[in-house]
Amino acid sequence: MSAVEPDGLPEAGDAELLARVARRDRTAFVALFDRFAARVKAFMMRGGASEADADEIAQDVMVQVWRRAETFDPERAAAATWIFTIARNRRIDILRRTLRPAPDPDDPLFQPEPEPDGYLRMNAAERERRIREGLAGLAEDQRAVLVAAFYDGLSHAEIAAKLGLPLGTVKSRIRLAFRHLRGALGDTLAEELSDG
């Protein structure tokens, strides 16, 4: 005669119970819960959790078993291994959360960048104006390659392809344009333009 569980169901293996839980069989889940909840709780307590925390975590793990039962693959692991892997991962999640330091609002990383003062904004606007004037004074072919390089972000090879020019011609025009800009804007502004 086969053994019968208290709920009147024939005794089923853990994998069979999990398969039934995957089909949302509540009776099978109760049987699985009865088999594993106390063991998961003991596992958590051995890991350092208080009894109350271990009980809560065990219930949480069993809820995950209910929700994820369809992902259990008996070819890859035994049911107990699968359940205790969920428990181990849950314990790791809790440890990470409790060991993570609380953010310090006074940490400079949490402070906004100061707004540039009026002088710096004016300086940037003045610099931009002077660069645009310098560009306007360039020959059209030189201006086209500089705009493509520094405003459109194209490489020299991309500019050559876009404009149908040899690469050497593009480089020469950029060099000539900078020479003209240095004369018109001064070395500092021309260097700023060439840097960024």
Q: What is the pLDDT of residues 25-71, one digit of tens each?
A: 999 999 999 999 999 999 999 988 889 889 999 999 999 999 999 99
Distances (CA, A) of 66 to 18, 29, 53, 69, 83: 9, 7, 20, 6, 11
* Residue whose C-alpha is closest to residue 127's, from 84, 189, 73, 171: 189
Q: Output the CATH code of domain 14-99.
A: 1.10.1740.10
- CA 121, CA 115: separation in Å to the nearest integer? 9
Neighbours of 148 (CB within 10 A): 20
Using one digit for the tens of pLDDT, what is the confidence trace for 67-83?
999 999 999 999 999 99
- Could you please state the CATH topology (level 3) that the domain comprising 118-195 is classified under: Arc Repressor Mutant, subunit A (1.10.10)
pLDDT attached to residue 47: 85
Domain with CATH 1.10.1740.10 in the chain: 14-99
- Evaluate whether 9 touches 35 at the Cβ level (below 8 Å): no
Q: At what angle do helices 187-195 and 167-185 cross, to 10 degrees?
A: 140
**Rounded mean pLDDT, 95-119:** 71
* Residue whose C-alpha is closest to residue 43's, from 29, 60, 62, 57: 57
Domain with CATH 1.10.10.10 in the chain: 118-195
